[in-house]
Chains A and B, each alone.
Chain A
Amino acid sequence: EVQLLESGGGLVQPGGSLRLSCAASGFTFNTYAMNWLRQAPGKGLEWVSGISGSDGGTYYADSVRGRFTISRDNSKNTLYLQMSSLRADDTAVYYCAKDTSLMGLSYFDYWGQGTLVTVSS
């Protein structure tokens, strides 16, 4: 059974940093691209960042490029999102989601339960 478990969310001040983690199990982690998506309270879904399964190629939404860094540790089956220079509009539930292909550019067949990030003073 595929499981994705996010952690690391919380309250952070504007300009601060936070690192999210996503522990994956139930599939061969290094053969799939992985992604972070977010959903602001009462709003729609936004793809944030993705990373390929093999060569570690990374991709970002314009809204976070230069502030967020996605990475993965295939030996630990874990995905990360390092977030810095956080702003109020980064407040959202952040989801980890599995891609259906190695390189990405696909849809998301499994999602974690989400972790809430609140940026406020």
Chain B
Amino acid sequence: DIQMTQSPFTLSASVGDRVTITCRASQSIGSWLAWYQQKPGKAPKLLIYRASSLESGVPSRFSGSGSGTEFTLTISSLQPDDFATYFCQQYNSYSRTFGQGTKVEIK
């Protein structure tokens, strides 16, 4: 299976900060990467697909970039509603795999 590694595990930030989360794949996955946001007790919510395409209804402060093995999720100006855990997911192979998650906490 393709291994996905996110960094950092935890990120402490303040409202208004620019936040960047990194996801690395163990082999090239082209642009077949999605990002999700998950809040406690809730199902994940799709934010980004195909590495940089914004899902309908997702605020434009979220953006994604990268290709091959290295990808980033950026929140341009952190809002109170953005404190959550974020996961990347590859879909280059049928056995879809996720990163371990990055928890964005209030500083």
Contact = CB atoms under 8 A, between A and B. Distances in A.
B91 A61 contact: no
Contacts, number: 51
Interface of B is mostly: loop
Given A106-B91, A107-B34, A47 B55 contact: no
B34 A50 contact: no
A53 interface: no
Contacts of B101: 44-45
Contact of A44 (B45, B95, B96, B98): B98
Interface string B90-102: 0101111111110
In this complex, the interface size class of chain A, counting residues with CB under 8 Å from chain B, is 20 to 34
Nearest to B46: A109
B94 A104 contact: yes
B87 A44 contact: yes
A109 B44 CA distance: 9
B89 interface: yes
A44 B100 contact: yes
Given A107-B46, A112-B43, 17 more contacts: A44-B87, A44-B99, A44-B101, A45-B36, A46-B98, A47-B96, A47-B98, A61-B95, A105-B91, A105-B93, A107-B34, A108-B34, A108-B44, A108-B46, A108-B89, A111-B44, A113-B42
Interface of A: 35, 44-47, 50, 59, 61-62, 95, 100, 104-109, 111-114
